[in-house]
Structure 1
């Protein structure tokens, strides 16, 4: 082969290799910047994993009263008209008492056809119900609100639920978490002792199930023909429960 040709080929080969080297280096730098290497999470040689629950109770600071008006008639339009009239009267009475309109919500509204029977051929063909959820922050005033609703035309008080405001629930939830962690620590200590280990500290903590159990009064039929006697309602505590999962580090005792 001609010596000049060999020299040209050699130069071209060196240029090609230099170009490949440059591309490879650039790609590596980009990859390093895009995906920096992070320190790996340390591995525990020995560990104890515990799931524990805790709860906290407190007096309620909020109540929801479910009251309903009912109507019957020969036509669905007649039933709807009756419910509309009752709606205006009930809302006016409750807002005049001091309840904000946003705290009077429709919970159930239903108008449906009924069916005649041989035993009662004159039975109304349509019936309707409009149920409201009325929320108040003064739990001591539940009886007064019931009286106002019944006097304004409510036919039923179906359920009373005592619960917590958002702020109060957060406070009680924090107490429930502390109790759950105390139970987890105690369980971990027992497990460690039974295994010839000792707990070196909590390594990972997370919450699992949680919930609030309000105090409820079951469905009750009410009537306005009570001679004007006021309604007295007793309250009960509200419970907040939470479950925690805790991974503890451990060492040989």
Structure 2
């Protein structure tokens, strides 16, 4: 091998070794950094784990009125036609009153043979129902909406559900969370005192799903409230809507 070739091979080996050395140094630095980060969140020597509920209530600012148009007949097509005519009249009356079309939703649509004639080979009768959920943000106008619906051909006023708008529900939920945290703090204090510990602070906090309980008024309750005249548009009372939240809190603790 001549001197020029030997020199070239030596330089190539030096470059390759230098590259390997640099790679090994980068990997080591990365490992050190990972170990340092892992030490930033050490495990607690002592902890108290508490799950607590919190509830808050508010007056409703939204209502959903469920009404239905019904039809019966010897022919299923005739029943469907009657329901279609009722649908057109009801929607027209409600939108004219001021309800947005998007707030009038079909809740149920069904056409089937009547139970009374199902086992009678000599007679066939069909019955149909088209139920609607009508949502309004003015809870004081529930009676008017019922009046408009009945005057437009609704045969049933099935239920009224009083609830909260999204914005109001979020506000009430925040209050429920505050109440849940207060209950958790109280429970943790009792547990710590009973265990000879002292709480150093909240270490980890999480919430579970929110439960919202609307205020519902059934058909029977509306009839009872309306008196002998059967006017379901009067005497409809509202009630508070409740929001419940569950929190889980892990508290750091030390010997008292």
Same fold, judged at TM 0.5 (above): yes
Give 1:1-253 correspondences, 5 Å limit: 16=13, 19-20=16-17, 22-26=19-23, 29=26, 37=34, 39-40=37-38, 41-114=41-114, 116=117, 121-124=122-125, 126-220=126-220, 230-253=233-256
Gaps of 5+ in 2: 224-228
Single out whichever of 14-23 and 209-218 deviates more from structure 2.
14-23
How far did residue 25 of structure 1 move?
A: 2.4
1:49-86 Cα distance to aligned partner (Å, 9 max, x none): 11000000111000001100011122221111101100
Asked if the contact 1:68/1:155 (under 8 Å) is kept, the reply is yes
- Rounded Cα–Cα distance in structure 1 between residues aligned with 2:138 and 2:53: 31
Q: Matched residues in 1 for 2:106 and 2:232: separation?
A: 27
Query: What is the DSSP-based 3-state SS (H/G/I as helix, E as strand, rest coil) of the residue aligned with 1:209?
Result: coil
More helix by share: 2
Q: How far is 1:39 from its partner?
A: 1.7
Q: How many residue pairs were aligned?
A: 244
- Cα distance in 1, alignment partners of residues 192 and 119 from structure 2: 74
Report the CA distance between 1:12 and its aligned residue: 6.1
Tell me the secondary structure at the aligned position of residue 42 of structure 2. coil
Matches of 1:35 and 1:137, distance apart in 2: 59
> What secondary structure, in the 3-state scheme, does the structure 2 residue paired with 1:48 have?
strand
TM-score (norm 2): 0.84
Runs of 4+ in 1 over 3 A off after TM superposition: 11-18, 30-36, 117-123, 219-222, 226-230
Aligned residue for 2:178, secondary structure, equals helix
Q: Note the alpha carbon deviations across 1:207-229, whole angstroms, 9 max, x for none.
A: 0132100011124498xxx5878
Task: Measure how far apart 1:232 and its partner are.
Answer: 2.4
Give the 3 Å change call, closer, same or farther, for CA 121–150 of structure 1 in structure 2. Answer: farther
Query: 5+ residue gaps in structure 1?
Result: none
CA offsets per residue over residues 167-215 of structure 1, 9 Å max, x none? 0000000000000000000000000000000111111111013210001
> Structure 1 residues 103, 246: CA separation in 2 closer, same or farther (over 3 Å shift)?
same
Tell me the CA shift for residue 117 of structure 1. Answer: 5.6
